[in-house]
A and B are shown apart, each in its own frame.
Chain A
Amino acid sequence: MTAISDTDVPRIPRGVRLSQDRVRDRWVLLAPERILELDEIAQAILVLCDGVRDVHGISEELAKTYRAETAEIMTDVKEMLGDLAAKHFVVL
């Protein structure tokens, strides 16, 4: 688990791909020897990992979409990104 701060700017590196799996009607994260099935929230977070927005910005955006508190969303965002960053599926 990698520690994530509000100002980190996550992005998906080359070699990892956010991809639509049309045959199974779902979104996946494709990585070396790994296929992660994404739920709606995970996909929504990863779509915003564009290398421009920071963690706070991503959480604000999601808070608007899901009509929730930014702080609450940010806890989930950090947890997921921390897990993915430890595996190098996102970089900061």
Chain B
Amino acid sequence: MNIPPPIGLLAELTHRCPLQCPYCSNPIELDRKSGELDTRTWKRVLSEAAALGILQVHLSGGEPTARADLAEIIAHCRLENIYTNLITSGVLLSEKGLRALYDAGLDHVQLSFQDVEVAKADRIGGYKGGHEKKLALAAEVVAIGLLLTVNAVIHRQNIGSTEAFVELAVKLGAKRIEIAHTQYYGWALANRKALMPTHQQALDAVQLLESLRRRYDGIIVIDAVVPDYYARFPKACVGGWGRRVINVSPSGKVLPCHAAETIPGLFFDNVKDKSLEAIWLHSPAFNAYRGTDWMPEPCQSCERKEIDWGGCRCQAMALTGRAENTDPACSLSAFNSQMRAIAGESAMTADSEFRYRRFDG
């Protein structure tokens, strides 16, 4: 098989995070600080990534600014000519800290917001004072001259704020906003009943975003992540397994996507043992669902098989018990009606209590 080089690297620098968002995509089993890769290893991995063809690195976590060596890591990316995107909650970063990242060559900041009002936002994030800190950081990011994206994960408990999120982003001077429906993996899957919107809410949000895009054309770019429990076709998860991106976990495990560890039977290589190139080309985990040969029906004969690549393996695993099944988010999947039923039932539950993301959660 001809394996094209990857384009992006999701570098999960740490699982430590002061926020406790119940929709966090991190695994339930979080890596501890003692197991995190050291600075030298990350620099080697990033040099290997650049040589392999990676153009953009997403510095994520957990909260990446919890690492004291973040500026050094960014400077190394700059040296390797890699574009750096900082995905942050913003609550740990001082003005001085931000300046250090700017001086190191940081390209872009993606700042999360949980809601638009203090009390609601801080409840969802499980961190008192968080919202105010985020507002302050957003202002500093724009003042220093960095491009800002606002990231808003939406779910049943804040979907009514969709328009207000866009207004907030414009007011803060962001040039881009991501309105991302919760993706149900990791902690979000554990909190599905408290987070799932109704079908009507999901439809309304899609329509609203269309009109907001027209209203704010040329002012702010609005990107959306669709609510796949209500979709007709599945998302092309990570742009297709082993096609475009690599995920490195805090402890150095190399994953085709951030939830891949939920698939039993896959073995993940570690950057401590092998080069990134060797892993990308030869790791059985990357080759397990690469391309289209592995696909069963209805994917195998589907004209969309190189558009959505069968959807998401982890979602197929979670909802059908077999990772190689068609993503149940696809209307052609035998499990689609079951998925719709789960969505409907979850959305109708009165339970709005969260199981917060914690190390001992």
Q: Taking beta carbons and an 8 Å cutoff, which residues of A are in contact with B?
A: 1-2, 13-17, 19-21, 23-24, 28, 30, 32-33, 35, 86-88
Report chain B residues within 8 Å CB of A24. 5, 53
> CA of A81 to CA of B218 in the docked complex: distance in angstroms?
13
CB-defined contacts of A1 to chain B, threshold 8 Å: 218
B25 CB within 8 Å of chain A: no
Nearest neighbor of B221 in chain A, beta-carbon distance? A87
Cβ-neighbour of A30 out of B55, B145, B217 (below 8 A): B55
A30 CA to B51 CA in the complex, in Å? 17
Q: Which residues of B sit under 8 angstroms from A32, Cβ to Cβ? A: 85, 107-108, 110, 147, 149, 175-176
A17 touches B223 (CB 8 A): no
Q: Which of the residues A13, A14, A33, A86 comes within 8 Å of B218, measured between beta carbons?
A: A86
Note all chain A residues with C-beta closer than 8 A to B209: none
Q: Is B7 an interface residue (CB 8 A)?
A: yes
Mask, B205-241, CB within 8 Å of A = 1, is 0000000000001100101000000000000000000
User: Considering only CB atoms and an 8 Å cut-off, how many residues of chain B contact the other chain?
Assistant: 24
From B51, B52, B83, B147, A88 is in contact (CB under 8 Å) with B147
Q: List 25 A-B contacts (CB under 8 A).
A: A14-B107, A14-B145, A14-B147, A15-B108, A15-B147, A16-B147, A17-B107, A19-B81, A23-B51, A23-B53, A30-B55, A30-B56, A30-B83, A30-B107, A32-B108, A32-B149, A33-B223, A35-B55, A35-B56, A86-B217, A87-B221, A88-B147, A88-B175, A88-B176, A88-B221
Report the separation of the CA atoms of residues A67 and B361 in the bound assembly, to the nearest whole angstrom: 68
Determine the distance from Cα of A72 to Cα of B106 in the docked complex, in whole angstroms: 38
B190 at the interface (CB under 8 A from A): no
B residues near A, CB below 8 A? Answer: 5, 7, 51-53, 55-56, 81, 83, 85, 107-108, 110, 145-147, 149, 175-176, 178, 217-218, 221, 223
CB distance from B338 to the nearest CB of A (A): 32
Measured in the bound complex, the distance between the Cα atoms of B80 and A21 in whole Å is 12
List residues of chain A with CB within 8 A of the CB of B85: 32-33
Task: Chain A residues near B217: list those with CB within 8 A.
Answer: 86
Residues from chain A with Cβ under 8 Å of B51 in the complex: 23
**Considering the chains assembled together, what is the distance between the CA atoms of A59 and B8 in angstroms?**
34
Contacts of B52 in A (CB 8 A): 23
Complex contacts, B218 vs chain A, CB 8 Å = 1-2, 86
Q: Which of A13, A16, A33 has the most CB of B within 10 A?
A: A33
Nearest chain-A residue to B7 (Cβ)? A35
Whole-angstrom distance from the CB of A12 to the nearest CB of chain B? 11
